[in-house]
Structure 1
């Protein structure tokens, strides 16, 4: 599909029914639990795995194994939900996460940790299916507002998850994983009894599957023919590489450099998450209208790059407390503004496609970033992952400057 090719009118349809508050709240709860579960595990993963292998590379590869599995499975689960309905795919995905979290907590060998993360990734269609569910039940003019639930769920999950994981680690290092699994199981039970199907038989896919349906690169390759999207996606990839290096490696850094336990790491992640949520809910609304999307992204890249360069000096706790706002505010300014620019680059009936392609970019960053950070930490220095991340951000900064100059010259 070419980015300039209009989508058939039949694909843009009115909602199936007025969005029931119960269904939308459950979808919000489902996404929140998915991110909460991941956030709960973040501060304790290095400590759970430490008896078997304490290297930063192994910690990074655990994240990579999940991301690769999800990258492969997401399009397959998406077409399955078009064929068989959202509800069964959503429930299977939630149950898969519950099983994976329980296995992670009970693991007694390194391969079990990897198997648990792979199972979680292969059944990780709850977010994409939840997005399709919201589209099914929302009027076109309400979709943006209802999709805002997803951003709210992400923010809340990343704020609360690490703090809960840190607190639960005082019980045992496995307790956060068991809690994440129990919450997912509760969500699946609630969904089984109360969540209605959003896609009736009359509007389900009837044509047979093709190989293209299972190719996660298809939409991405189509959309990067648009030069604006190619630049935006590259900028997002650079930012994603840096942020995923931080997410996967910071707990290891705090353990080795600051000699922190899981609870203290959780508090630092929560501190970072609160600033990100505040930035996206307050600062972006004020800065972006005043300076424009591209200049706002430029400010964000600059702030993040300064923060990561500072992290590369292997700072102490006081300096980290000063660094976190730079990184959090920068990330909070960049992501929504670049997403908005990508949205403006396509027609109204291509919004879903371009957001899907953007998710593919985020998945690639989740695969590559932790691997690079883990290798650099083990083989170069504790500050090396953050110096490399600053280099990624410099590329994003230069791309933003280049695009801004083109706009000014036009």
Structure 2
């Protein structure tokens, strides 16, 4: 994630050499997410067959090649190729999670996953800061540094990273291509969680669109360069870390998941609307960014917990896996749709429309708890809500 944080805030400035088009930037963001959606399940299955270490090394070396290609790209098609390779190579989260599952006890597994998530978050923040600093010396330098970091990381892993899946525990079946959308279709058939899944999808479409488009928005409206956008990305990341690491622990026992989900979505909706209304004083983006970063930091874990509670304990893995697939689809839709709306309607339109979408997600969440939980006759038995 350090390399990803180095590159993404700079993408509009890199692409500007050949085209000044929000739709193209959105397409690149959607391409990155689409490659992750397609590659992640394949890499996870491959790691069950040939081992975690081999797949992680492939991903690390692949990321190094992708970043180097972006640094040396002399045309837009080469940038597209580098982004596609970077998305595929960067979809190693399932393999990293499996590595942790192999090396931790059941009691310490949640802690291991938490450390992995914290490492990804800190990498994103640190990458944004380093990318903004290095961009002063040329836009080719940040991806070159990202390539160097990825290559050194790959070399270190080659020497020091042990294999955690011995041959006698590996799958002997050949790796087959699977339908990445099957899990999403399955969870959408369950009425007790379908509305909340809809809210999660809407939230992620809006946030992915903002994350991909906001640097182009600030560039065209305020004349911001890579350095100012890097500061904004770091600020948003720090707000999210404080929210999930401190604020959530305080508010969850007091308010519960239902109120946190509704309040978080409300903050996000208000923040998106205010972004679209900022025309002159760019400093106002910082308190607004804190608003929607805090809202997201509250809403996402609360909605995830509510979905888990309503699903029951027989198919937690399948339900949460299906939800992750839906989130991945949302990450593909968001960047391209925001870029297209930006070009066709205007710079304010994606954020005002995003605000209306988030208001819809808020309404869905509120109405879900006004109505009784549907009863299903399938193998998944709903449980009572913690605050019902």
Bin of the TM-score, shorter chain as denominator length: over 0.9
The offset of 1:233, in angstroms, is 2.0
Match of 2:233 in 1: 269
Matches within 5 A, 1:111-130: 111-130=77-96
1:51 has 2:38 as partner:
no
Match of 1:16 in 2: none
Query: RMSD of aligned C-alpha atoms?
Result: 1.7
Match of 1:31 in 2: none
Contact 2:278 2:284 in 1 (8 A): no
Counterpart secondary structure, 2:9: coil
Matches within 5 A, 1:3-402: 35-211=1-177, 214-315=178-279, 316-346=281-311, 348=313, 350-402=315-367
Once the two structures are superposed, residues 176-219 of structure 1 have per-residue CA deviations (whole angstroms, 9 ceiling, x without a partner) of 111111111111111111111111111111234455xx211122
Contact 2:46 2:175 in 1 (8 A): no
Counterpart secondary structure, 1:170: helix
The offset of 1:349, in angstroms, is 6.2
Once the two structures are superposed, residues 377-399 of structure 1 have per-residue CA deviations (whole angstroms, 9 ceiling, x without a partner) of 11111111101211221121011
CA distance in 1, matches of 2:268, 2:151: 37
Alignment: residue pair count: 374
Q: Which residues of structure 2 form unaligned runs of 5+?
A: 373-384
CA distance in 2, matches of 1:406, 1:231: 11
Once the two structures are superposed, residues 89-147 of structure 1 have per-residue CA deviations (whole angstroms, 9 ceiling, x without a partner) of 11101111111011011111000110001111222332111011111111112111111
Q: Which residues of structure 1 form unaligned runs of 5+?
A: 1-34
CA distance in 1, matches of 2:218, 2:82: 25
Distance 1:346 1:201, change over 3 A: farther
Contact 1:52 1:110 in 2 (8 A): yes
CA distance in 2, matches of 1:153, 1:335: 18
Give TM-score, length-normalised by structure 1: 0.87
Give TM-score, length-normalised by structure 2: 0.92
